[in-house]
Structure formats: structure tokens, C-alpha cells
Amino acid sequence: MTLNDLDNARSWMLLLGRKTAREKVAHFLSLLFQRVRPRLSPLRCTLPLTRDTIATYLGLSLETVSRQVTALRRDGLIRLENNGRTMLCDGLSALRLAAGETTLD
């Protein structure tokens, strides 16, 4: 259990220190979609946090998070619905690729 915690901490430090803003936001969204993966198709989720809270969590500004969400939407990876839900348009693997992850399972 301790080794898992250390591995998670190492991964988080890598995320905060080396990834671009786009990769950070895409990684955050991919984590959310992975949680709902077995239950819904197409994948939809409600963002549990405000963009400001997401920005703080990722070490970014609110404006940067908003720009990156807009860019992911413009690129066809996600769709924002009127009810505050986010839909994954191009599959989880495409979002994980945008997050800079090289291994897609």
C-alpha cells in the first residue's frame, strides 16, 4: 500500500512539473471518465469541481483551464452539454493521448 502511495505521489509530481496545461487538463478529465467508464456509453460525467477549483488542483490559472477545455472541445475530444455535463466524443484513448500518456490500455 505504501509503494502504491509513493507511486501515485511520483505520478502527481510528474503531472504538475512536466506536463503542459493541455496535458494536465486532459489527464484530469481522463481520470473522471475512467471512473464512469463501465457504466455509460457514450461516456458522460458531471464535473465535480468548478473550473477555479480544477485550476488550483492542477496548479494552473482559471483562464488557462477555460482555454484548454475550449481547445479540447474545439478539437472534438469533448462536448459540453447544457446541463453541465461533459461528454467524451472521441474515446478515452484519444483523451489519454492528449494527456501525453504513451500507454493506452
For residue 62, pLDDT beyond 60:
yes
| Residue 18, pLDDT score | 78
For residue 11, pLDDT beyond 80:
no
Confidence of residue 42 (pLDDT cuts 50, 70, 90): low
- Domains of the chain by residue range: 2-98
Instruction: Note the residue count of the chain.
Output: 105
Q: By C-alpha distance, which of 25, 46, 34, 43 is closest to 99?
A: 25
Dihedral class, residue 81 (left if φ above 0, else alpha if ψ from -120 to 50, else beta): beta
Fold of 2-98: Arc Repressor Mutant, subunit A (1.10.10)
Q: What are the pLDDT digits (tens) for 80-101?
A: 887 667 887 777 888 889 988 8
Confidence of residue 23 (pLDDT cuts 50, 70, 90): very high
